[in-house]
Amino acid sequence: MNLRLWLIPLLPLLGGIINGLFGRLFSKRVVTAVALASTAAAFAMALYVAANFASMPADQIPHAETLSFPWISITGFEVDFAFFLDQLSLIMLLVVTGVGFLIHIYSAGYMADEEGYYRFFSYLNLFMFFMLTLVLAANYLLMFVGWEGVGLASYLLIGFYFQKQSAANAGKKAFITNRIGDFAFLLGMFLLIKTFGSVDYLQVFHQVSAMGVEHAHAGILTWTALLMMIGATGKSAQIPLYVWLPDAMEGPTPVSALIHAATMVTAGIYMVARSSAIFDRAPIALTVVAILGALTAFFAATIGLVQTDIKRVLAYSTISQLGYMFMACGVAAYSAAIFHLMTHAFFKALLFLAAGSVIHALGGEQDMRNMGGLKDAIPYTFWTMAIATLAISGIPPLAGFFSKDEILWQAFSSKPTGWIFWLIGLITAGMTAFYMFRLLFMTFFGERRAPQYADTHQGHAAAAGHGHKPGHGVHESPWIMLGPLVILAFLSVAGGWVGVPKALGGQNHFEQFLAPVFEQYAPHDERRLAEAEAGVVGPAANRNEPVPENPESATELIMTGVSVLVALTGAFFAWLFYYKRPELPQRIVQHARGLYTTLLNKYYVDEFYGATLTQPIMRGATDVLWRGVDVGIIDASVNEAATASQEVSRGVRRMQSGNLRSYAGWVAFGAALVIGYMIWTGIR
Amino acid sequence: MVPASYYLALSAMLFCIGVAGFLIRRNIITIFMSIELMLNAVNLTFVTFSYQWHALSGQIFVFFVMVVAAAEAAVGLAIIIAVFRTRETLNVDQVNLLKL
């Protein structure tokens, strides 16, 4: 069966090229039509592929398609333009094209009054191309092409308002930080090539599955996994490379929604899950992944507690949720990570788009301290955002509840020390609920803290990047923006129902669907044995999920209850602090000023990196490489050579005086010398 | 019979006069004549040796030198006239556009 998978990335690329080359000549209507049509076509192709996938016999999965011409072909090493479809790719494909298409629609409304409209859509389509290449690639090298490409698209879109210094800097920061991770990914890939002589998923995993688990020692698999993990920390904004994501909020809000919340930042999670065969055999690397994820989830959430920029709160929330997914990967609960990835794509995209709608309504204002009381002015935005807030806080039965609960439960039941991860995750869940409800209350409830939005304020709007016609007042966004919000709100509610755990009477279809991907190359060791003892049979059975009669089911129910309770507590405190008694936060801040400033300044991590990395590198580059090597040695040697030849020629050019008689004199002088020599030799 | 050394000495003297005139004089015409003088001094040497050794090649060579000298005179005088028309001088020290 030929599904023509290569068409899916190619369609957005075509749209991007058309808009990029000729968009300047087109009217906005045509630009929009090209961009939306190409993305819609990709989405339609994805649905067509999904429909075919459902009827595909199990032995034909994963379904691989290779373009007829090779890419790299040298003796003993071949890479093809190969595309690959299994359950994991399919879910990523649907999320990327679906959410991407919705955000394209939204952007048409949001960016309507912006300069460089065609440029925006060209970049956005380019991003879709690279992201789809990333998720559909059948080997690590092609994945890396997509991986680098989304980084490029991200750079271009963060720096979309490139006239603004901060946006240009944020773009550079994102690009350079990602480059560190990419370098590690590349090294990991080199290790793969050296060890297995291939970058093809199936060939690599096939060879990996013949290897044992590196329990106590750090062998080749552990190093590969660790290097790949560093790559993932760059792209998925984990400690220590997360610093670019908050700054990436300089880009237009739809970009934040699509790239920096829903899709691109999940590439690292996807990569770790895709490489589960390698990570499963490297317990040390897995533990590091889990620790990094848990720490990231926790620290990003604490920073999110005090931020006042609406998009920055969401940015730290994204980092925190990505930390959850990383943690889930770290406890080898890959399907839980992908489940959360999917639901997170729904509700975080919705949160960003709704935040964009708020910003749009206020003509560019992003500071929550200047919002408030918008509930009745922009009701659709309010209700969709409220749904997303409930979803991310883990309130049942919305999407976030099921995925987050799955991660917490998997963390708890994973290893002897799993309860630590569970505890961190639980505290983070409480903080998540707190900062999200804080955002909701500060934005939509209370009194209007900014009456000036009733009248014109063009200056502020221009400064904030998202200009809007003055004299408008607070207004609800047009339906082209609200439509995607409503659809995403529906998905945020229902998106989790595909993965209801057995303890709650569901079937956990999602995990069963994904199970073959992670089961196929899983190591045959204690986990399998444990399952065999527990009476789980067959590859499609859930790995860690206890059978309903199992007493663990009761534990899971209690855990679920606890996490919901914690989420409600967080929400309650947010209600208390920011709705009921708004003077309380000030008093707490006064009592814990040190903690508050530390959080407000994001633990001074940027300053720390600046002092320990950026400054020394800049100084080294300036003093040693620039002034020392470049100016002192390379430039100097070139200049010295020029000066020396000038000096020599200054002396020599006296011979070319232009004076005829002096030439004759020189000739006579030379002749005299020759004759004198001959006479002298003749006499002797 | 006049010994060959007489001819050679005369030839050397004529050549030195030519060289000196070439180096000292500033008038292009004079310089030109000095060159002719040097050529003819050389011709004299050729003829002398040819006569002494009874070899005709020296005499043949003299004809070549004369032909070249005639051609050179034609081209050289043309150049001199061209220079005089543009610069209105025959002083070589003033024809020095190539100098530093």
What's the burial of A644, exposed, middle or buried (CB within 10 Å: 0-12/13-18/19+)? exposed
For residue B57, give the 3-state DSSP assignment. helix
Q: How far is A656 from chain B (nearest CA, A)?
A: 7
- Rounded (5°) CA angle A180-A185-A187: 95
CB contact under 8 A, A659 and B26: no
**Alpha-carbon dihedral sign for residues B82, B84, B88, B93:** positive
Contact B19, A670 (CB under 8 A): no
CB contact under 8 A, B100 and A653: yes
- Encode pLDDT of A47-100 as tens digits: 999 999 888 888 888 888 888 888 888 888 888 889 989 999 999 999 999 999
**Chain A partners of B99 at a C-beta cutoff of 8 Å?**
657-659
Alpha carbon distances (Å) from B72 to A418, A566, A665, B14, B96: 107, 112, 21, 20, 22
CB contact under 8 A, B23 and A661: yes
Q: How far is A661 from chain B (nearest CA, A)?
A: 6
Q: Where are the domains of chain A?
A: 7-600, 605-683
Contact A358, A377 (CB under 8 A): no
CB contact under 8 A, A660 and B97: no
> Chains A, B: CB contacts under 8 A, how many?
31
CB contact under 8 A, B96 and A657: yes
For residue A566, give the 3-state DSSP assignment. helix
Question: If you measure CA to CA, which chain B residue comes closest to A660?
Answer: B92
Contact A42, A12 (CB under 8 A): yes
Alpha carbon distances (Å) from A559 to A294, A404, A501: 18, 12, 13
Residues 6+ positions from A288 with CB-CB distance below 8 Å = A226, A229, A330
How remote is the C-alpha of A345 from its chain's centroid?
Answer: 12
Alpha carbon distances (Å) from A675 to A82, A567, A614, B5, B34: 83, 111, 74, 18, 20
Predicted pLDDT at A550: 59
B23, B26, B31 ranked by CB distance to A665: nearest: B23
The Cα A340–Cα A334 span in angstroms is: 10
Contact A132, A123 (CB under 8 A): no
Half-sphere exposure of A267 (CA within 13 A, CB side): 37
Name the interface residues of B facing A (CB cutoff 8 Å): 19, 22-23, 26, 31, 92-93, 95-100
Question: If you measure CA to CA, which chain A residue comes closest to B95?
Answer: A659
CB contact under 8 A, B92 and A660: yes
**Chain A partners of B23 at a C-beta cutoff of 8 Å?**
661, 664-665, 668
Predicted pLDDT at B63: 94
B19, B31, B99 ranked by CB distance to A659: nearest: B99
Q: How far is B97 from chain A (nearest CA, A)?
A: 7
The Cα B55–Cα A601 span in angstroms is: 109
Q: How far is B11 from chain A (nearest CA, A)?
A: 16
Q: What are phi and psi for residue A138, nearest 5 degrees?
A: -105, 5
Question: If you measure CA to CA, which chain A residue comes closest to B97?
Answer: A658
CB contact under 8 A, A659 and B100: no
A657, A665, A668 ranked by CB distance to B99: nearest: A657
Question: If you measure CA to CA, which chain A residue comes closest to B18?
Answer: A668
For residue A63, give the 3-state DSSP assignment. strand
Residues 6+ positions from A313 with CB-CB distance below 8 Å = A304, A307, A368, A435, A438, A439
Helix (H) or strand (E) holding A68, with range, is strand A63-74
Classify residue A455 by its DSSP letter: S
Each as own residue / partner, the long-range contacts of residues B8-17 (CB below 8 Å, 24 or more positions apart, any chain) are B8/B45, B8/B48, B10/B44, B11/B41, B11/B42, B11/B44, B11/B45, B11/B48, B12/B41, B14/B38, B14/B40, B14/B41, B14/B44, B15/B41, B15/B42
Whole-number CA gyration radius for chain A: 31
Q: How far is A664 from chain B (nearest CA, A)?
A: 6
pTM: 0.79
Predicted pLDDT at A465: 47
Alpha carbon distances (Å) from A526 to A217, A429, A547, A631: 17, 31, 18, 62
User: Which of A650, A652, A653, A659 would you mutate first to test chain B, the one with the most B CBs within 10 A?
Assistant: A659
Predicted pLDDT at B39: 94
Name the interface residues of A facing B (CB cutoff 8 Å): 653-654, 656-661, 664-665, 668
Question: If you measure CA to CA, which chain A residue comes closest to B98?
Answer: A658
For residue A595, give the 3-state DSSP assignment. helix
Predicted pLDDT at A210: 86
For residue A209, give the 3-state DSSP assignment. coil
Region class of A183: left (phi > 0), else alpha (psi between -120 and 50), else beta: alpha
Contact B40, B15 (CB under 8 A): no
Predicted pLDDT at A670: 93
B23, B95, B100 ranked by CB distance to A657: nearest: B100
Q: How confident is the model at residue B99 (pLDDT cuts 50, 70, 90)?
A: low
Question: If you measure CA to CA, which chain B residue comes closest to A651?
Answer: B100
Question: If you measure CA to CA, which chain A residue comes closest to B100?
Answer: A657
Q: Which two tokens stand for residue A217?
A: 């020692």
**Chain A partners of B96 at a C-beta cutoff of 8 Å?**
657-660
User: Which of B15, B16, B17, B23 would you mutate first to test chain A, the one with the most A CBs within 10 A?
Assistant: B23
The Cα A49–Cα A88 span in angstroms is: 13
**Chain B partners of A664 at a C-beta cutoff of 8 Å?**
22-23
Contact A157, A175 (CB under 8 A): no
* Single-letter residue type at A155: Y
pLDDT of B22 over the 80 cut: yes
Classify residue A473 by its DSSP letter: -
Q: How far is B57 from chain A (nearest CA, A)?
A: 24
User: Which of A656, A660, A675 would you mutate first to test chain B, the one with the most B CBs within 10 A?
Assistant: A660
A653, A654, A661 ranked by CB distance to B92: nearest: A661
Question: If you measure CA to CA, which chain B residue comes closest to A668?
Answer: B19
Q: How far is A666 from chain B (nearest CA, A)?
A: 10
CB contact under 8 A, A658 and B99: yes
The Cα A576–Cα A455 span in angstroms is: 32
Q: How far is A663 from chain B (nearest CA, A)?
A: 9
CB contact under 8 A, A658 and B100: yes
Q: What are phi and psi for residue A412, nearest 5 degrees?
A: -65, -40
For residue A396, give the 3-state DSSP assignment. coil
Which has the closest alpha carbon to A254: A99, A479, A438? A99
Strand partners, A139: A200
CB contact under 8 A, A661 and B99: no
pLDDT lower than 50: segments of chain A: 454-465, 467-471, 532, 535-548
Predicted pLDDT at A472: 52
- What string of DSSP letters covers A633-674? IIIHHHHHHHHHHHHHHHHHGGG----HHHHHHHHHHHHHHH
Is B4-94 CATH 3.30.380.10? no
A653, A657, A664 ranked by CB distance to B22: nearest: A664
% pLDDT > 70, chain A: 92
Predicted pLDDT at A525: 58
Predicted pLDDT at A136: 93
**Chain A partners of B21 at a C-beta cutoff of 8 Å?**
none
The Cα A239–Cα A305 span in angstroms is: 18
